[in-house]
């Protein structure tokens, strides 16, 4: 085994990285684990079939092996990406072309749309005439969708603003009918065309403009225009922040190491990709099975260690568990060739090796959040294939293994879009934190773009940021090779769910996982919809405890006891139980009030042994010094 990245190197400082101009370096070989690696007193069994080395396209994807013509194409696409926010113009054009061609050859659909336009015009004309009679209340001719709060204020019911927003909503509904239900259009193209059309129409919403928004006009009259003065100041500040890259003053009141990520612990191991943090025990006795948390690498780990009052890590230590967490490095251009196998080996497997040295012969509870849960699933499947039995349980928070219904993000996942992203990443070696941010904002444009502009610039308001919003602004980069593999193999091809994903050159399958699984979905998750998380029931042949909590992808997970307006549903499916679809499960599973964290603790304790003395911090008893205090150094990398 290559000892360069093993726990014997805990005292070595990682090499410094120059984040300047990209330098071409040869692809880094994936660390291969020896077939005779001794783990917890057991040896991995040798494989009976000799495997031939596999050379993936990514390992050949370097500047040296790329023709000048392809370099020209990729550089052109990368330049275009700077102006499109990472969205592929070709993907959008192909979606609209598919829709337009099929609509042009569908006279029945065209007649239907003409009829709908005529009926809507008559309804609107009738509504207009009724509004002219101010002695009678005019019922609206169309109601906005439940999640659309733009016209909920009473001021929108007065003339002429009622006519404005009713006309806008009817126009929006007609275009929804026009872009959907056209026979022959692929589902993905239909979704893109409908989504893009809705975004274009939202630009012209009467709520977005000073003269057509009665709430803004009323506010301006009440304050004598001071709201507009404050709004202009907010606009100037936002431009300054965007140009200079400075943090907002409100964000700076939350600081990592001072009031964020402050649970006491030590960095006990470091390699070129991770720092492993072990948290100090706070109880006299701890359960002998430790917990390893694998967070998503797209954001910093402290989503699970925010303020002390809502830190899941702190909560776990208070319940008598020894907790370890992976803190990912923020990759730079020199890390462009790190792939999924590197993240599994240098990340999860190295962390398991260190924990096994601290607690020999002791099984481990694995916990994964978001993409970290997907990586933990891949790791657990590979360990099951190799008969590595160190995992006691696997817990997955808002994580997916089947990506066929991976939420609205699938709008941006097709061959054209993935290729466009690859070309953008290939030139610089990574996906930057600002790239594709526009795509995520578009998914909730009414909440993240237009309502913010109205509140900040027209109403002159300010947003009181909290710890979760501060974390959300602290994103990380992603290496070119890893992100390309992730998009292609998981999102585009769904290789993990269909048994084609390779780990160290050999296929793995989720159905090999036999340890109990605790899966958490959130009701309003637009990144990992709970129906997609529920698919672990289809992919595995083991006991699954599925918990559905209210809230979104992040806020639903950060659900400490005492958090107001929290509820959840929980059910257990044995390995030999018949499958129950998610709608039936939801209807038959009673809702319970409160935080789901105590349920998770009960589940862990029922699968853990009685308490014992806390383990040593790191490998100090074996002569290896601790590296430093939590939260470590990788968390500060920008």
Q: How far apart are CA 608 and CA 287, in angstroms?
A: 6
Question: Reduced to 3 states, what is the DSSP secondary structure of residue 503?
Answer: strand
Q: How far apart are CA 442 and CA 199, in angstroms?
A: 7
3-state helix, strand, coil in the chain (%, to 5): 45, 10, 45
Q: How far apart are CA 249 and CA 46, in angstroms?
A: 57
Strands (E), 402-460: 430-431
From edge to edge, which strands make up the β-sheet containing 391-397?
592-593, 567-573, 544-549, 517-522, 391-397, 364-369, 291-294, 323-328, 274-279, 265-270, 628-629
How far does CA 440 lie from the centroid of its chain?
Answer: 10
Both structure tokens of 325: 């967490």
Q: How many CB atoms lie within 10 A of CB 358?
A: 22
Q: Which residues contact 638 (CB under 8 A, 6 or more apart)?
A: 330
Q: How far apart are CA 458 and CA 59, in angstroms?
A: 52
The residue assigned the tokens 């056209």 is 182
Residue 216: what are its φ and ψ, rounded to 5°?
A: -65, -40
Picking from 54, 53, 78, 74, the residue whose alpha carbon sits closest to that of residue 65 is: 74
Specify the length of the chain in residues: 638
Active-site choice (370, 375, 425, 490): 370
Picking from 481, 475, 476, 502, the residue whose alpha carbon sits closest to that of residue 421 is: 481
Picking from 379, 393, 391, 392, the residue whose alpha carbon sits closest to that of residue 345 is: 379
Both structure tokens of 221: 């009259």
Task: Render 36-57 in DSSP notation, one character per residue.
Answer: T-EETTEEPPPPSSPPPP---G
Tally the C-alpha atoms within 13 A of residue 262's C-alpha that lie toward its C-beta. 12
Looking at 299-398, list the stretches that DSSP marks H as alpha helix, in order from N- to C-terminal side. Answer: 312-318, 340-342, 350-358, 371-385
Active site residue 141: no
Picking from 480, 492, 471, the residue whose alpha carbon sits closest to that of residue 369 is: 471
Q: How far apart are CA 265 and CA 324, in angstroms?
A: 9
Looking at 434-566, list the stretches that DSSP marks H as alpha helix, in order from N- to C-terminal side. Answer: 437-443, 445, 451-453, 467-472, 480-485, 530-533, 536-539
Q: Which residues are catalytic?
A: 370
């Amino acid at each position: 085994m290559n000892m360069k990245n093993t726990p014997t190197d805990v005292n070595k400082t990682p090499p410094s990285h120059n984040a300047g101009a990209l330098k071409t370096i040869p692809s880094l070989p994936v660390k291969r684990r020896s077939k005779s690696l001794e783990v917890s007193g057991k040896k991995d069994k040798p494989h009976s079939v000799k495997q031939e080395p596999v050379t993936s396209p990514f390992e050949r994807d370097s500047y040296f092996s790329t023709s000048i013509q392809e370099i020209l194409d990729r550089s052109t696409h990368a330049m275009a990406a700077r102006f499109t926010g990472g969205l592929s113009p070709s993907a959008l054009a192909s979606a609209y072309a598919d829709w337009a061609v099929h609509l042009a050859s569908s006279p029945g659909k065209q007649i239907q749309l003409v009829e709908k336009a005529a009926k809507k015009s008559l309804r609107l004309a009738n509504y207009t005439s009724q509004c002219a009679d101010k002695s009678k209340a005019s019922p609206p001719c169309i109601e906005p969708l439940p999640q659309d709060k733009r016209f909920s204020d009473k001021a929108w019911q007065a003339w002429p603003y009622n006519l404005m927003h009713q006309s806008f909503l009817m126009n929006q509904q007609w275009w929804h009918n026009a872009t959907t239900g056209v026979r022959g259009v692929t589902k993905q193209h239909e979704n893109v065309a409908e989504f893009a059309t809705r975004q274009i129409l939202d630009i012209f919403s009467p709520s977005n403009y000073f003269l057509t928004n009665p709430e803004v006009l009323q506010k301006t009259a009440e304050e004598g225009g001071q709201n507009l003065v404050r709004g202009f100041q907010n606009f100037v500040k936002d431009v300054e922040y965007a140009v200079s890259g400075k943090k907002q003053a409100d964000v700076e009141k939350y600081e990592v190491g001072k009031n964020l990520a402050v649970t006491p612990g030590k960095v006990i191991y470091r390699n070129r990709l991770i720092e492993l943090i072990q948290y100090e025990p706070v109880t006299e006795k701890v359960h002998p099975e430790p917990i390893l948390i694998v967070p998503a690498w797209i954001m910093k780990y402290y989503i699970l260690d925010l303020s002390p009052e809502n830190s899941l890590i702190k909560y776990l230590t208070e319940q008598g568990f020894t907790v370890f967490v992976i803190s990912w490095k923020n990759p730079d251009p020199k890390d462009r060739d790190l792939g999924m196998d590197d993240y599994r080996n240098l990340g999860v497997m190295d962390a398991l090796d260190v924990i096994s040295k601290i607690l020999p012969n002791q099984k481990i509870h694995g916990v994964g959040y978001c993409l970290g849960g997907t990586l933990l699933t891949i790791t657990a499947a590979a360990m099951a294939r190799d008969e590595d039995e160190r995992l006691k349980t696997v817990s997955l928070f808002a994580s997916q293994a089947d990506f066929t219904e991976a939420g609205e993000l699938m709008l941006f996942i097709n061959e054209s879009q993935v290729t466009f992203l690859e070309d953008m990443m290939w030139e610089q070696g990574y996906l930057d934190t600002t790239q594709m941010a526009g795509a995520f904002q578009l998914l909730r444009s009414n909440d993240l773009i237009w309502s913010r502009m109205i509140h900040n610039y027209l109403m002159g308001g300010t947003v009181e940021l909290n710890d979760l919003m501060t974390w959300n602004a602290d994103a990380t980069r992603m290496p070119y090779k890893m992100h390309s593999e992730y998009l292609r193999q998981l999102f585009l091809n769904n290789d993990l769910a269909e048994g084609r994903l390779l780990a160290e050159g050999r296929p793995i399958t989720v159905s090999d996982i036999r340890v109990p699984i605790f899966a958490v979905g959130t009701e309003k998750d637009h990144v990992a919809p709970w129906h997609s998380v529920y698919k672990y029931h289809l992919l595995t042949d083991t006991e699954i405890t599925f918990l559905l909590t209210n809230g979104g992808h992040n806020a639903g997970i950060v659900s400490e006891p005492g958090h107001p307006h929290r509820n959840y549903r929980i059910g257990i499916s044995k390995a030999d139980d018949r499958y129950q679809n998610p709608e039936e499960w939801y209807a038959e599973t009673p809702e319970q009030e409160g935080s789901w964290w105590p349920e998770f603790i009960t589940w862990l304790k029922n699968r853990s042994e009685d308490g014992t003395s806390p383990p040593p911090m790191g490998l100090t008893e074996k002569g290896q010094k601790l590296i430093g205090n939590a939260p470590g150094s990788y968390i500060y990398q920008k």
